[in-house]
Amino acid sequence: MNLIKFKDFQLIFTPSYIQMEIFHEGHFGVKDYEECLQMKLEAYGEKKIGILVKRINSEDKYSFDPMLLISGKKSIEAHANWVILVSDRYVDALNLKFVKILTSLYCLHFLEYNEALQIINSGSLPG
């Protein structure tokens, strides 16, 4: 696994998915997405992968720009096949709902990280 830290978030690259963790008071926007897409292309090429978004601390406050789901829809759908959210916060579930509405990606939500890993390792996800 490779860990890459940015100012507002970090990415963990695994063989089949990228795990994203946004830091307290961080923001993930269109420019961040474009930079992450380039890193994804370097690491995985055109292969579709999963995206695991994990909340680090329940008390953290951060933001996600849903506009990237509109401006980046074609590239998101071309390079990802699922999104799994691990969070106990309503706002995160709402952001996942935007992903479900605005893209064709398979989306799941878990409260516990281990539950998410079980489904990932089960081989039952699209892709």
- Does any domain span residue 35? yes
Rg (CA), the chain: 13
- Does any domain span residue 127? no
**The predicted structure's pLDDT at residue 58:** 87
**The predicted structure's pLDDT at residue 69:** 94
Provide the CATH number for the domain around residue 26: 3.30.750.24
Say how many CA atoms lie within 13 Å of 19 toward its Cβ. Answer: 16
**The predicted structure's pLDDT at residue 118:** 98
**The predicted structure's pLDDT at residue 42:** 96
Q: What is the 3-state secondary structure (H, E, C) of 72-118?
A: CHHHHHHHEEEEEEECCCHHHHHHHHHHHHHCCCEEEEECCHHHHHH
How far is the C-alpha of 29 from the C-alpha of 23, rounded, in Å? 13
- Does any domain span residue 46? yes
- Does any domain span residue 85? yes
Structure confidence by residue, pLDDT tens digits, 47-101: 999 999 999 988 899 888 989 999 999 999 999 999 999 999 999 999 999 999 9
Q: With 80 as the cut, is the pLDDT of residue 119 above it? A: yes
**The predicted structure's pLDDT at residue 127:** 80
Domain count, the chain: 1
Sign of CA dihedral 107, 67, 90, 117: positive
Q: With 90 as the cut, is the pLDDT of residue 105 above it? A: yes
Residue 84 belongs to what domain range?
2-122
- Does any domain span residue 117? yes
Structure confidence by residue, pLDDT tens digits, 9-52: 999 999 999 999 999 999 999 999 999 999 999 999 999 999 99
